[in-house]
A = this chain, B = another copy of it.
């Protein structure tokens, strides 16, 4: 753990420059607007350690994979989000000497991420020319209402220095990805323009041929007054810039306001890009900094109004949860169903920026409860559009008849990952994608989605499960052999309880949904049957046979579900017995040793108990939690939140709080020494769930909202916002009471501790807090 940043309710603050943690800070101070994202790289040149990153959503490159030993079925490429042409560049020379914070003498430095209003500030004081001082003040943001627009205000004020300052305002497409498998550069220049008025670079990606146009123009202000400069034009392959010199005297302030538009062929025809980017530059720059900024912060104001969580008396927790909500909203706005949420969002290259089951299992529930239903719907449509590719993925592995296997990692529906034990075997992801449909409908009541899109996906996935299950003559049961569950510390096991549980549920839900659509929307049903070539009686009777006879490993002695057939043959022991110098085990133990051990990377049986909580009584959940939690090492960022939610459910409030703490400041305090690679964007949603579903006990059940709040002893109170079918409400939990505030325009039925209340419009309903929940609840 490394508490580098100052605690503050609304801001992340780095005081003093820490070049040794620069990569980490570049991740933490990232900004984004769902359309693009920018790490907190410096505008001016910097020769120290840095991961430069500017990512445009949906623009990727299929990098040739690096494989030790090829296996049939492996994909040829791993799609990677690209470090796109650099738009932030403003090089500064003072008396001809470049400003570079690696070698500069600085007497003050601060970086501030303002989460309330969504911008990044940086200030530093530079000692130049002996003992003279220049003050730098830089603000930048990526506009939320105008997502192609990036704006920087870069100001230099002289305290007592007199001399010349050289500015070079530039764009640079000669960038690379650190994670390029063979060191290749992925961008080629298409065209460029540079004039006194603007600079434009159009670059295209190899293979995928995405075109990205980056345009810039800037105003120069001397002491707040716009001043015309005549710049030298720099016109190089992949680089355009305006360079000019200005003298500065003590008291003077020189500022550049740089306006940037980034357009891509995802949204604009390639042939129009040059014209479009010029038009956008005119529009953006004519608004000016102040209007762009105030429009931007209004959007953030609205977001916070409906999704803020307030925690009283725990500033570290308060800062952390806001950081998580802020980053999630920077990463995904839900406007474009072609986009998704990579595990690192726009904050790094790791995991290729691609889509994982994290989206359905963790991020979707967050957006279902905090955003308009369109957002969740777009996340579902993303997968719907990948259905045909998923059928092809399954065919590649030998499946037939429209069986669909969604990829483990993808940009466009094709599988990218190439470890057989993951790619081919971590198939529970298919279940998560099926369950997302049910979860979306439960939250939104959007039943039509099922007939229009959802059921087709469900049929493909159920077909996969029915082919993946095989009959064991020995057990007289159907079995699912050779899988990897969510606990990736076991590979190629048989009858992973979670996988089997997802498989069985998917087939049941698909049958149920088929019957529902058949009855309610017979025309749509007929179309679907014909489109999918579905044989109702043949296919569903096989599914039912599998559902009724699927082997679900169970320990009769302990009365717990078994993670897989061979789990009990392992030496069972508490993770507490692992010497602390050997934690995390994935950095200290060889892979075979991890596989042989009983230690669990992330919630596995418990993942199912979380998803299907209503199928199991509390004592069953408790027995399984008590059995598995001590063996769980939580070496995935997606683990502790699920355990925390279940611990809350069981009334283990201290355990729930301890587990919550493991995730909430994971990045801010860099628990695992890996923040330099980027933030754990998807796990941030889990943290939110640990408060709302965990402490708050929020559930959607039978078309009603339930809450069963607990409060950690460390907190004076906490409150959260959530949505349900068009209603928005706030729940505040104190030690004494629960105050429900219906913020929408219709009456809200809500079940609190099992008792139903009707909360009137604008009513603030207070209900007594049930301080302790019984252990046998």
Contact = CB atoms under 8 A, between A and B. Distances in A.
Interface in A579-617: 586-596
Contact of A481 (B71, B472, B569): B569
A591 B481 contact: no
Contacts of A71: 590-591
A418 interface: yes
A592 B475 contact: no
A570 interface: yes
A300 to B, nearest CB: 38
B482 A592 contact: yes
Contacts of A594: 72
A569 B419 contact: no
A160 to B, nearest CB: 53
A580 to B, nearest CB: 16
Interface in A393-414: 396-398
Contact of A492 (B73, B491, B586, B590): B491
Interface stretch (A62-70, A139-147, A311-319, A768-776): A62-70
A52 interface: no
Contacts of A69: 418-419
Contacts of A421: 492
Contacts of A425: 592
Contacts of A397: 590, 592-593
Nearest to A396: B590
A189 to B, nearest CB: 26
A552 to B, nearest CB: 14
A503 to B, nearest CB: 15
B420 A591 contact: yes
Contact of A68 (B68, B182, B398): B68
A571 B472 CA distance: 6
Interface in A31-74: 65-69, 71-73
A568 B474 contact: yes
B73 A494 contact: no
A473 interface: yes
A252 interface: no
A336 interface: no
A565 interface: yes
Contacts of A588: 72
A240 interface: no
A102 interface: no
A479 interface: yes
- A interface: dominant SS: loop
Given A66-B67, A68-B68, A491-B492, A73 B590 contact: yes
A689 to B, nearest CB: 28
Nearest to A594: B72
A572 interface: yes
B492 A424 contact: no
Contacts of A492: 421, 491-493, 595
A673 interface: no
A76 to B, nearest CB: 12
A224 interface: no
Given A66-B68, A419-B68, A481 B570 contact: yes
A471 B397 CA distance: 37
Contacts of A482: 592, 595-596
Nearest to A470: B571
Contacts of A586: 72
Contacts of A474: 568-569
B569 A479 contact: yes
A391 to B, nearest CB: 15
Contacts of A68: 65-68, 418-419
A566 interface: yes
Given A68-B66, A419-B68, A588-B72, A566 B565 contact: yes
Contacts of A589: 72, 398
A493 B482 CA distance: 10
Given A66-B67, A68-B67, A475 B591 contact: no
Contacts of A568: 472-474
B72 A424 contact: no
Given A72-B586, A481-B566, 11 more contacts: A66-B68, A71-B590, A72-B590, A72-B591, A73-B592, A398-B593, A420-B591, A420-B592, A472-B570, A479-B569, A565-B569
20 contacts: A66-B66, A68-B68, A69-B419, A71-B591, A72-B589, A72-B590, A72-B591, A73-B591, A397-B593, A398-B590, A398-B593, A420-B591, A425-B592, A470-B570, A472-B570, A474-B568, A481-B566, A482-B596, A492-B595, A494-B566
- In the complex, the 7 A-B pairs of residues with the closest C-beta atoms, listed nearest first: A73-B590, A424-B592, A71-B591, A474-B568, A397-B590, A472-B569, A420-B591
